Amino acid sequence: MKTDNALNKDLILRERLALQRTILANQSTFLAFLRTSMYFLIAGLSLRNLLKIENSLIIEIVLFITSFMIFIFGTINYLKHKISISENKKHIGDYQLEYYK
């Protein structure tokens, strides 16, 4: 009987740790979207100063719009997965109370 209880506590702990890894992966993915968005923004801001291209204003606007769209998509993706993770969190028992008994 003790082995079943210990096994159950270990499974709950593993599920909890897997959930933490999933949360960290979601945050890391959001930061990657943010970083990519900032790269496009910086490219749009520095295009006119670095290169002498005709119609650089059009290219800058395209880069700004791309940056904004990547940021919006990354934010929506992060929030969608955050909600999904929090909904799945209720399926894991309160391991701290059970594990330390």
Compute the distance between CA of residue 85 and CA of residue 25 in angstroms, rounded to an integer.
Answer: 11
Mean of pLDDT over the chain: 82
The per-residue pLDDT for range 59-83, each reduced to its tens digit, is 899 999 999 999 999 999 999 999 9
User: Does 101 have pLDDT greater than 60?
Assistant: no
**How large a percentage of the chain has pLDDT more than 70?**
77
Per 3-state DSSP, what percentage of the chain is helix, strand, and coil (rounded to 5)?
85, 0, 15
